[in-house]
Amino acid sequence: KVTWAAELVLYRSLPLLITGQAPGQPLNLKEGSYFGGRRPEDGVIDWRENAETIHNLIRSVAPPYPGAFSRLDSLPMRILRSHLDREPARHPDRAPCFYWERGRCYADCSDGRRLHIGKFEVEGQSMTPEAFHTRYGEQIKDLGQPR
């Protein structure tokens, strides 16, 4: 849909832009303003939110932005990629929690859904699901707010 809309806009606008006849329209800053930019605190994960809200936060602050921040037990953690999983949370009584299962890492959220965590760091070190499993085995780790 977006490609089709872009074609329509270009078809209508490009000839005027090329000939220098495109009408100019100054922006009215009273109707809007400039965004101040992202700050690291914009990426703090509130695990009381539902899985979809958390996933959307992770997507919105993914690189080149600083990423989404949390704590894995007491360790600083950045979550850089996630996907909403179709399966329900495996450990809803422990949510929010993080764990390894069949070669993947997951975060169970407070709403009973889980996220597949595709890319993350612990203590500033990139970690694969295999590395997480080697370090923690099948432990269920608590997730919390960054300090």
Q: Could you write out the DSSP letters of every residue in 65-89?
A: S--EEEEETTEEEEEEEEEEEEEEP
d(CA 22, CA 19): 8
pLDDT at residue 146 is higher than 80 = no
Share of the chain above pLDDT 70, in %: 98
Average pLDDT over residues 5-15: 91
* DSSP code, position 33: -
Tell me if 120 sits within 8 A of 127, measured CB to CB.
Answer: yes
pLDDT at residue 147 is higher than 60 = no
Tell me if 115 sits within 8 A of 107, measured CB to CB.
Answer: yes
Q: What local confidence, expressed as pLDDT, does residue 92 receive?
A: 96
DSSP assignment string, 86-117: EEEPS-GGG-SEEEEETTEEEEE-TTSEEEEE
73 — phi, psi (to 5°)? 55, -115
CA atoms within 13 A on the CB side of 116: 10
Which domains does the chain show, CATH number per domain?
A: 41-144 (3.10.25.10)
Whole-angstrom Cα Rg for the chain: 21
Q: What local confidence, expressed as pLDDT, does residue 135 receive?
A: 95
Q: What local confidence, expressed as pLDDT, does residue 54 receive?
A: 98
d(CA 25, CA 132): 54
Tens of pLDDT, residue by residue over 63-109, are 888 899 999 999 999 999 999 999 999 999 999 999 999 999 999 99
pTM higher than 0.95: no
